[in-house]
A and B are shown apart, each in its own frame.
Chain A
C-alpha cells in the first residue's frame, strides 16, 4: 500500500512522457489524480500502513497531510486538461510528466519516517516543480525558476546538515547513530543539547526556506508570480504542507527532548515575523499574483504561530493548513484565468474582472474574502481557533499582534483585489479571446464549496483525524 502511493503516480508520469499526442496527454493528469485519491482513501481508512522496516509509515499526522494533498491534487488535476488545451502551441510533455510525478514525491515526503529519505523526497519536489515554473518560457519565468532552484536547493542543503547534526547528537552521547524518526523520538531525552539546538535552527532555516517563511521567502513572490495558476495552487497548498510536516517532525523530537519551550518560542517569533513581512509587502501591491505569494508567506507564518502556541491553537494550525490550502486553490486558479484574459497581472491594466469574467472575477473576490478570514469561511474558523488558543494560553500580546497583522493584510490585500474586480475593463482586455468555460471554473467552485463548508461544519472523521494528529504531535513522553 505504502509503495503504491508513490509508484502509481510515477507510473502515470512515465506513461505521460511516453504518450505521443499533445492533445491526449493532459487527460492522464486527472486520471492520475483520481488513482492517487482512491489509493489515499484506502490507505487512510484501512489498517496501519508500513513498509521498509518502518522507514515508510502512516501516522496520525501524516494521515491528515496525505489526505489533504491528495484531495488538493485531484481538484487541481481537473483543471489541467482545459488549461493545457489553451496552450496547444507548446509541448506539454515535460509539464505533464512533472505534474504527475509530484503527488508521488509528496506522498514519499509524507510517508517517510527516515529523515534522510524525507530529505531526498523534499529535494525531489523542488526538482519536479522547477520545470513547471518554466512552462511559459519567458525571461521572467526563467529568472523565477533560477531563484527557486538555487535558493530552494541551498535552503534544503542546510536542512541536510541539520539532519546530520541531529544524528550526531546521538553519536555524541554514545548512542546508536540513527536517522529513523521513531528511534530519534525514543532517544530524544538523551540527545546532546548543543547539537540538538544547532540542528533545530538549521532545520528550521532549511525547511523554512521551502515553506517560504520570512526572511527566507525571497524566491516565493517570483516563483508564484510567474508560475501558471495551477502550479501556484499546488505549490502554495501541497509542497508547503510537505515542508510544514518536515518542520513538525523535528518539533516532535524537540518536544520529547524536553526542549519544547525553545522550539515554540522560535515558532511564535518566526510566525509573527513572516506575517509582518507579508503585511508590509501586500500593502500597495500592484501585481496580484505576487500578492498571493505574500499571502502564502503570511499563512505559513500563521501555521508556525499556531504550532508555537500549542494545544487548541495547534489544532487550529492543522485545520488552517487545510482551509488555507483549499482557499489558495480558489485564488490561484481564478487569478490564472484573470491573468489569461487580460494578458497582464498588474492592477494598472487589470480592471473590471467582474464584468469581463462573470465567473472567475466573483470567485477571485470570494477567495479573497475567505482567505482573509471573513466569517463564515473555513479560514475564519481555523484562525479563530488559533486566536482562542492564544488567549486561553495567556499569550495576550501575541494574540493582539496576530489580530493587528490580520487587519493590515485585509486592508492591503483588499485594495489590490478591489482594483482588479471593480471598474470597467479596457477595450484591449475585452478583445482577448479568453472566455470563462465550465472546465476552467468548476474546479474553482469545488475548492470554494469545500473551503466555505468547513466554516459551517467540520466533518466528524476530519475532526477525529485532526484531534489524533495533535495528540500524536504533542504526545508527552
Chain B
C-alpha cells in the first residue's frame, strides 16, 4: 500500500516548503488546506481494499475539516482583520526554507535510528511525519501574526496525523473523531481570540502580546 502513499507524502512535504516560503497569508492557508485534503486521501490508501464505510466516512471528515472548514475559518479571519501578508517574520522566508530543509534532513536521519517494523520498511511515513512536525514548530516560533501561528499549529497536527497512518488499527474511530473535534474547537476558540486581539490592539501581530513578562 505504501507505494501509493509515498508520492502523496512527497507532495505534503513540498507543501511544507510552500508554507515556509510564502509571505502571502492566502498562500500559506491554501498550502495547509491542500495538505488536509491529501491527508484525507491517504486514509483511504493506507487502509486499502476492501473499502469499509467507516473508513470512507473518516477520510471524508478529515478532508472536509482540515481541507475546507478550518481553512475557511482562517480565510474569514484574515478578511475580517484585513491583513494580507506576514510582514515581519523573526526569521526571513529564504532562511526559513533552508531551516526547513535542514529539519527534513534531520528527520530522515532520526527516523533511521528508530527501528521500523518490517511491514513498514522503506516507507516515507516516519520521516515525513517528523519533518512536518518540525515545520509546524518552525512556523509557530518564527512568525509573529497570530493567524500564521495557528497555521503552524495545524501543520504540526498534520505531522502527528501522518504518523497515525502507521496505527490505523490501534486508533479507533471514536478517538480519531475526538481528536478532530478537539482540533476544530481549538481553532474555533483561537479564531475568536484573534478577533478580540484585532479589536483590542488594531493588529493581529503577537508582538503586541508581550506585556506579561518578568
Contacts and interface: CB of A to CB of B under 8 A. Distances in A.
B142 interface: no
A174 B117 CA distance: 7
Given A146-B209, A154-B153, A127 B182 contact: yes
B167 A168 contact: yes
Contacts of A140: 211-212
Interface in B150-176: 153, 156-157, 159-160, 163-164, 166-167, 169-172, 174-176
B196 interface: yes
Interface stretch (A70-78, A82-90, A190-198, A335-343): A190-198
Nearest to A179: B170
A127 B115 contact: no
Contacts of A226: 212
A465 interface: no
Contacts of B82: none
B182 A171 contact: no
Given A171-B166, A194-B114, A116 B179 contact: yes
B209 A119 contact: no
A414 interface: no
Contact of B140 (A154, A160, A194): A154
Contacts of B214: 221, 281
Interface string B136-155: 01001000001001000100
A149 B160 contact: no
A68 B133 CA distance: 36
Given A120-B182, A146-B146, A164 B212 contact: no
Given A123-B186, A177-B169, A139 B201 contact: yes
A150 to B, nearest CB: 6
Contact of B211 (A117, A139, A164, A221): A139
A174 B140 CA distance: 36
Interface in A104-138: 114, 116-117, 119-120, 123-124, 126-127, 130-131, 134, 137
A66 B90 CA distance: 44
A177 B120 CA distance: 14
A130 B193 CA distance: 10
Interface residues of B, number: 47
Contacts of B182: 120, 123-124, 127
A154 B156 contact: yes
A60 to B, nearest CB: 25
B22 interface: no
A146 B178 contact: no
A172 B120 CA distance: 9
Contacts of A130: 189, 193
Contacts of B166: 164, 168, 171
B178 A120 contact: yes
Given A124-B182, A139-B211, A194-B114, A164 B167 contact: yes
B160 A147 contact: no
A327 interface: no
Contact of B190 (A150, A198, A225): A150
Contacts of A194: 113-115
Interface residues of A, number: 48
B209 A198 contact: no
A116 to B, nearest CB: 4
A127 B185 contact: yes
B179 A143 contact: no
Contact of A149 (B137, B189, B212): B189
A215 B116 CA distance: 31
Contacts of A131: 189
Nearest to B210: A143
Given A142-B200, A143-B212, A168-B163, 9 more contacts: A120-B178, A130-B193, A137-B196, A139-B201, A139-B211, A144-B212, A164-B160, A172-B116, A178-B170
Shortest 3 CB-CB distances between A and B: which pairs? A177-B170, A116-B175, A120-B178
17 contacts: A116-B172, A119-B175, A127-B186, A130-B193, A142-B197, A146-B197, A146-B209, A149-B186, A150-B149, A154-B137, A161-B163, A164-B166, A167-B167, A168-B117, A168-B166, A171-B117, A281-B214
Interface of B: 113-117, 120, 129, 133, 137, 140, 146, 149, 153, 156-157, 159-160, 163-164, 166-167, 169-172, 174-176, 178-179, 181-182, 185-186, 189-190, 193, 196-197, 200-201, 206, 209-212, 214
